[in-house]
Amino acid sequence: MLLIPAIDLKDGHCVRLKQGDMELATVFSEDPAEMALHWLKQGARRLHLVDLNGAFAGKPKNEAAVKSILRVVQDFAEENDVGEIPVQLGGGIRDLDTIERYLDDGITYIIIGTAAVKSPGFLHDACGAFPGHVIVGLDAKDGKVATDGWSKMSGHEVIDLAKKFEQYGVESIVYTDIGRDGMMAGVNIDATVKLAQAVRVPIIASGGVHTIADVEALCEVEGEGIEGVIVGRSIYEGTLDLAQAQERADELSDEVTE
């Protein structure tokens, strides 16, 4: 079970939102690259970046911050001889040129959310053009998918869309329960497992992680096809210690495989 620290970018700063509300942003760092380095030193094996301004504008808005993070990640990987540390990025990605530019910069996985729901053809084209590099982000509440920075509810069922996008060739699915995101109210295990059982591609859980108990609960269902969990407010506010939690997740995974 991979614990993936989230670095949410707003106006060049590292912030966290509550339930996707841009007005409820807490600034945790003026220097996102320094924040990335901090999580790498804590043992992060992948990073999750979100261009929040981009998500609302429909085009990239924090590219400078993204590039500074990528430089730090590449330097850290070289200095510590740990191989590639994947970085995944979402927010405002609406065309193939943007994807290509970000991949050239060093992003490993591109997350397509709103555009996947509104323009399935774009997601299909992206999967064809960049196989192995496209993750779809499904943000849902009560089983229905939300779009546009969670400001609009679609009529689509999460599982129906997940099955459709799986056929397109997405690498994995980031599933966020938006009712819990940023609220540290615990992960929606049931809904996450239900989705994982419905598709063959890996699921990355997101939203609601509060303590190590949430990580342990996810580890118990890892075998259903859940490969990781994005952690945000909990590691920034200290209710979850990233290094300890990843160590515990590794222990539990080892116990399952023995």
Q: Which residues are identified as catalytic?
A: 8, 139
Q: 7 to each of 33, 119, 205, how far by Cα in Å? A: 9, 26, 16
Q: Would you give the DSSP letter of residue 91?
A: S
Q: Would you give the DSSP letter of residue 181?
A: T
Task: Compute the distance between CA of residue 52 and CA of residue 34 in angstroms, rounded to an integer.
Answer: 19
CB atoms closer than 10 angstroms to residue 31: 16
Which residue in this structure is represented by tokens 């997405």? Answer: 170
Q: Would you give the DSSP letter of residue 90?
A: E
Q: Would you say 133 and 109 are in contact if contact means Cβ atoms under 8 Å apart? A: yes
Task: Compute the distance between CA of residue 237 and CA of residue 81 in angstroms, rounded to an integer.
Answer: 30
Q: Any residues with CB less than 8 A from the CB of 167 and at least 6 apart, and which?
A: none
Token readout for 161 is: 């869309």
Q: Would you give the DSSP letter of residue 229?
A: E
3-state class (DSSP) for residue 55:
helix
Task: Compute the distance between CA of residue 217 and CA of residue 211 in angstroms, rounded to an integer.
Answer: 10
